[in-house]
Structure 1
Amino acid sequence: MKVTIKFFAGIAESVGKREHTIQVNQESTVKDILAVLIDEFPQAKDLIDKSMVSINHDFAKLDQKIIESDEIALIPPVSGGEEPLFEITNKPLSADQVIAKVSNNMAGAILTFVGTVREFTKGKKTTYLEYEAYPEMAIKKMKEIADEIKERWPDAKVAISHRIGKLDIEEISVIIAVATPHRNDAFEAGRYAIERLKQIVPIWKKEIWEDGEEWIGNQER
C-alpha cells in the first residue's frame, strides 16, 4: 500500500519537500515508516530520530500499525530547540531518541542503561508497576547527577529519561545515556548515574502483585 507523510519545519527544509509518498506492506508500523524515511533521506536522519509521528492528529507509538487511509505527519522538536536532556514523561521511552541527545563528534563510546519491568521480584510475581514522581525536583536532581559526572569525567554528556504511570511487564521505565571519548569512562559514568538516580531522585513505584501491592522508594529498588 501507499502512504503519504507530511513534513514540517527543519525536516521539510532538509528533504526539500512538504510531503512524500512511500510504498509499504499491510503490516507496517510507525517504526517501519521511520526506517524507510531514514533510508530515503539520510541527510535528515538526526531530525527524524528526534521527531514524533502523528497519525490522524494524535501522537503514535512506534509499534502502531499503519493503514492506507491514515493521515501521517512527522513532528520535529517544537519551540525551536533540542529535546531536553532530562525528562519525566508518561509516554513510552525510546533508547534511540535518548542516545541521539548525547551523540556528538567527540564521543568514542555511548553507554546506555535501559531499566525494564521484570515479572518476578523476591519470589513475588508482578502484574504491573505504577510510577510516580515529583517532576520538578526529579529534573533538578537529574541535572545535579549530570553535573557530578562532569566534575569526574569532564568530557561526558548525559541524558536521563524516566517514565511514570502504569507500566506492563517488559516495558522500559528508565533510560540513561552517557557519551564519553573513551569506553572505560562511559562504563564508569553510566554506573554512577544509575546508582545516584536511585539515591536522590524522587521517583516511587508501586509494585502490584497477584495478591497485594506496595509503594517502594526509588532508593529501595
Structure 2
Amino acid sequence: MSNPDDRAFDGEQAFTAENIYVSLTYEPLDTNKALSRVKSPKAGAVVLFAGCTRDSFASKTVTHLAYSTYAPLALRTLQTIARDIRQKYNLVGISITHRLGRVDVGEESILIAVSAAHRTEGWRAGEECLERVKERVEIWKEEWFEDGGVWRSNRDGAAGVPVRKEES
C-alpha cells in the first residue's frame, strides 16, 4: 500500500452537508484548510486535532505507516460519526479528513476540526470524535519498521499479521 500506484482514486473523496465535511485523500493534509471548513462567527472555539506518525512503537523504529480502505464505506461511517458528534455537542461545524497510503514520520494521518460556541464542547467533541473514528471507521493501518511491517489495530494498538518486507 506504500506504492503511489496503489491509489484507489486521485484527489480527495468527500461528503459535505450543512456544516459537516468528511473526506479521504492520499495527499498530505492541510491544517489551514481543515480550520477554514469549520470557522464561523457563531463559534467562540475552534479545536483542531492532528494525528501524526511517530518515530517509534514499543522500542522499535517506525519508518512509516500505510493506510487502506474501501472509500465508499469509510466515508459513510465518517459521515455518521460527524452527524452524531455535531448533534450531541451542538457544534457549529465539524470536519474529518483521513489520509490514505503512505504517511511518513512527522506527517499527519488525520485532522479533526470542530467549532462550537464554547471551548468545553469543542474539546469534548474532538476527543469523542477521534475515539469513534479509531473504533468504527473501516480504515486499516500497516505499521512499517526497518525489518518489515505489521497490521495494527487502531482501536487497541495490538499488532496483527506481519506484512511482507517492503521492496526498495
- TM-score greater than 0.5 by the shorter chain: yes
3-state DSSP of counterpart to 1:218 = coil
3-state DSSP of counterpart to 1:85 = strand
Residue in structure 1 matched with residue 55 of structure 2 by the alignment: 119
Residue in structure 2 matched with residue 174 of structure 1 by the alignment: 110
Q: Is contact 2:91-2:114 (8 Å) kept?
A: no
Q: Is contact 1:202-1:218 (8 Å) kept?
A: no
- Greater C-alpha radius of gyration: 1
Partner Cα separation in structure 1 for residue 148 and residue 44 of structure 2: 46
- Quickly say closer, same or farther: Cα 1:155–1:175, change in 2 above 3 A: closer
Residue in structure 2 matched with residue 55 of structure 1 by the alignment: none
- Give 1:202's match in structure 2, choosing from 131, 138, 141: 138
Residue in structure 2 matched with residue 104 of structure 1 by the alignment: 40
Q: Relative contact order: is structure 1 or structure 2 higher (C-alpha 8 Å, sep ≥ 6)?
A: 2
Question: TM-score, length-normalised on structure 2?
Answer: 0.78
Give aligned-pair identity as a percent. 34
Question: TM-score, length-normalised on structure 1?
Answer: 0.60
1:186 matched to 2:90? no
Write the letter of the residue equivalent to 2:67.
Y
Aligned-residue CA RMSD in angstroms?
Answer: 2.0
Larger helix percent = 1
Partner Cα separation in structure 1 for residue 26 and residue 86 of structure 2: 28
Off by >3 Å, runs of 4+ in structure 1: none
Kindly tell me the number of residue pairs found equivalent between the two proteins: 141
Partner Cα separation in structure 1 for residue 101 and residue 79 of structure 2: 22
Write the letter of the residue equivalent to 2:28.
P
3-state DSSP of counterpart to 1:105 = coil
Gaps of 5+ in 1: 1-81
Residue in structure 2 matched with residue 142 of structure 1 by the alignment: 78
Per the TM alignment, residue 211 of structure 1 is displaced from its structure 2 partner at its CA by 1.9
Gaps of 5+ in 2: 1-17, 158-168
